[in-house]
Structure 1
Amino acid sequence: MSQPESFPGLHAWLDTPLGRYVMAWEEARFDTLVADIFGYNAVQLGVPEFDFLRANRMPFRFKGGAGQVLVETDYAALPFAPASIDLVVLPHVLEFAANPHQVLREVERVLVPEGHVVIAGFNPVSLFGLRRKLVGECGAYPWHGQYLSLRRLKDWLALLSFEANCHVSGCFVPAMEQQKWIERLDFMDRAGERWWPIGGGVYIIHAIKRVQGMRLIMPKWDRRTRSRALAPLIQKTGRPSKGCSQQTTTEKNFGRD
């Protein structure tokens, strides 16, 4: 019996000529982005048919979600301890999730400070987005998803204390299902990367979880107050040992002033 899939229509579409064209571009970009991200634990959530962590060198890499995965989980309730994951790869989950905000909150929870998330999504400001508008919400995967613009996604990430490190878009060919037309129009990829770099059908964004450090604020003591504060410590210390004789002498000088 086959395992259930999170988005079964999407998985079937990925095996079409257009889906393979998209996945080929994403695999190449994921390989570049995750290769130099270091840590101990990395998880891929979504699209288990493809290994987007293959270029990463962390000792423990696994897939979560539904289907051919190591850990079956709901994306909105991840079964991982807080601050336990160094890298989360999130391909095409947010635009089809019932609550994408909660998915991102869970990703933020399980990531360590300075942890990384790499997200792939369909771009509404593109020819793919135009195809989605024409088909409408009643269309099949992947056209009925709630596509998130890069600007909107960056706002969501910023609210969760993520810092967007870089992003890239690709797949400028119109959303045609025939392989021959994808091959004939491949020149649009080169033109799009040069003249309209934010208008690709899909995008990938890399963000880092930032945690603000605490700064201890000390009272501003004057010389007299400081000597009174050190006096009990000097009395308790008594006769100094050889290893800290210089430090105790200094403390006594403070006591005399």
Structure 2
Amino acid sequence: MLQHARMFPPQQWSELPSGESIRFTVEQTLAPLWPRIFGYYLLNLGFLSADLNKTGLSIQNQYSLYDAPTADIMAELTDLPIQNTAVDAVVMSFLLEFHEDPYRLLRELDRVLIAGGYLIIVGFNPISPLFIGKLLSQYQNTLPWCGRFFTPYRVKDWLGLLGYQVVSDERVLHHHLLSRIMPKKQFWQQRLKAWLPSSGSVYVIVARKLEVPLTPLQSKKPLKQPKWRPAAAGRTGRASSRIKK
């Protein structure tokens, strides 16, 4: 119970170990994506999402939702005051780990997203050096180890159930993040990235909501009646002669 005593997300990048390094790396990873997203409304869930640099994004109407007076919207994450299919893109950074019902949160985001809309999820990967902090008691009640880590594979399974296509899944920062300041890339980090690229401590998943058309049921075709041919006279005669014998 100690490791889950604090279950609320970070409100500033500085609350995370090596927070500025995490922010910079996430911004670099998402930089090629922003020019490809179009629409009218983008929703930033959490302060960390709102604080990301989104150079090249053509969506002018960006709204932020987090627990602070500076947010554009203050509401429960699972009860958004937004109409159905009204948002073109949602950015969510390090929130699934600290929500009591992450799948319900994803369902709520699915409700407000338009068909073809983008869902960008940034989270911590437990299958990485980051998991070391879960094993050390002095870190279990601190960010980010006080949260519940979900593997990227599980997150993608949830998205698949909701009808999303994963556009990209990248793992970055092959480091345990136990130090407050990220050191320069060391040899073991470079080797780990080369040998096990999926073991990055932070995952960045970009998914797109599929537009599934209604497929009409095909009408049942009437069964074709077999065309029985009458037996030939000669064949009947041969059969009769055999019976007589």
TM-score in terms of structure 2 length = 0.77
User: How far has the Cα of 1:154 moved from its partner?
Assistant: 0.8
Comparing 28-37 with 76-85, greater Cα deviation is found at 28-37
Equivalent pair of 1:13/1:141 in contact (CA under 8 Å): no
Equivalent pair of 2:47/2:64 in contact (CA under 8 Å): no
Q: Indicate the structure (1 or 2) with the bigger Cα radius of gyration.
A: 2
Q: Which amino acid aligns with 1:191?
A: R
Partner residue of 1:237?
Answer: none
Partner residue of 1:94?
Answer: 96
User: How far has the Cα of 1:184 moved from its partner?
Assistant: 4.1
How many residues align structurally?
Answer: 214
Partner residue of 2:66?
Answer: 65
- Aligned equivalents of 2:184 and 2:218: distance in 1? 68
Q: Which runs of 5+ in 2 are unaligned?
A: 1-6, 222-245
Task: Give the 3-state SS of the residue equivalent to 1:121 in structure 2.
Answer: strand
Q: Which amino acid aligns with 2:195?
A: W
- Aligned equivalents of 2:220 and 2:152: distance in 1? 47
Structure with more helix by fraction: 1
User: How far has the Cα of 1:98 moved from its partner?
Assistant: 1.6
Any residues of structure 2 matched to 1:115-154 within 5 Å, and which?
A: 115-135=117-137, 138-154=140-156
Equivalent pair of 2:97/2:149 in contact (CA under 8 Å): yes
User: How far has the Cα of 1:80 moved from its partner?
Assistant: 0.7
Q: Which residue of 104, 109, 112 corresponds with 1:110?
A: 112
Q: Which amino acid aligns with 1:154?
A: K
Partner residue of 2:35?
Answer: 35
Any residues of structure 2 matched to 1:179-198 within 5 Å, and which?
A: 179=181, 182-198=182-198
User: How far has the Cα of 1:104 moved from its partner?
Assistant: 0.2
Partner residue of 1:208?
Answer: 208
Task: Give the 3-state SS of the residue equivalent to 2:117 in structure 1.
Answer: strand
Q: Which amino acid aligns with 1:133?
A: L
Partner residue of 1:254?
Answer: none
User: How far has the Cα of 1:11 moved from its partner?
Assistant: 3.1
Identity of aligned residues (%): 26
User: How far has the Cα of 1:163 moved from its partner?
Assistant: 1.3
Q: Which runs of 5+ in 1 are unaligned?
A: 1-5, 222-257
Q: Which amino acid aligns with 2:212?
A: Q
Q: Which amino acid aligns with 2:30?
A: F
- Aligned equivalents of 1:119 and 1:164: distance in 2? 11
User: How far has the Cα of 1:107 moved from its partner?
Assistant: 0.6
TM-score in terms of structure 1 length = 0.74
Q: Which amino acid aligns with 1:22?
A: I
